[in-house]
Amino acid sequence: MVSKGINKVILIGNLGQPPELKQLANGAAVANLSIATSESWKDKSTGQLREKTEWHRVVLFGYLADIVGKYLTKGSKIYVEGRLQTRKWQDASGFDRYITEINANQMQMLDSKREENGSQTTYVNTQATVVSGNQSNAPVNKVNTKNTDTRNQTTRTGGTITAEPVYDDFDDIPF
């Protein structure tokens, strides 16, 4: 049994506006996000489909903030994991103010971008899992060509991108 409790938040949603980037006094990057999550249901009394959107304030620090600022825009789909925190400060009038936000320590970009290169169209999946404090986790892009079903995993080497095929052998699964 957990004696101290659990404070964990997991969200998958879309950015409602571009990330707001700032620098702390020590030079560390901070990104503030506004993430929308929606749920829908059928109203039992009217039979109509209803939808409710919740907005979440999310803050990221350091390397996570740099990645978000570089790759995400309004509407981008994102996965974040972190904890709830409430901050208190005094406004210009001396009144106490509070804000509750999610302090994210993990993030994954979930969008796929479409890029057209002449007659060939490629789809770049910008999925990248980044864990706060681990600066060796640079984004890894997966590239799929439109005309084939092969999936390729790309790695960056000296400014160039090389593709390595990913093979899935589902016959080895024991169930």
What is the share, in percent, of the chain residues with pLDDT greater than 70?
A: 63
**CA-to-CA separations, 33 to 47, 77, 175, in angstroms, rounded:** 35, 12, 41
Q: Which residues pair with 90 in a beta bridge?
A: 96
More confident residue, 161 or 88: 88
Give which of 173, 79, 55 is closest to 129, Cα–Cα.
79
- From the list 114, 110, 23, 27, the residue with the least C-alpha distance to 75 is 110
> Any idea which fold 9-38+50-172 has?
OB fold (Dihydrolipoamide Acetyltransferase, E2P) (2.40.50)
Confidence band of 82 (pLDDT split at 50, 70, 90): very high
**What are the extents of the domains in the chain?**
9-38+50-172
Among 105, 84, 111, 77, smallest CA distance to 9 is for 84
The predicted-structure confidence for 19-57, as pLDDT tens digits, reads as follows: 999 999 999 999 999 999 999 999 999 999 999 999 999
- Global pTM? 0.63
**Do you know the residue count of the chain?**
175
Element (H or E) spanning 70, and its range? helix 62-71
The closest alpha carbon to 166, from 109, 127, 116, 113, belongs to: 127
Chain mean pLDDT for the chain: 76
Mean pLDDT across 104-133: 61
> How far is residue 24 from each of residues 48, 85, 109, measured CA to CA in Å?
48, 18, 24
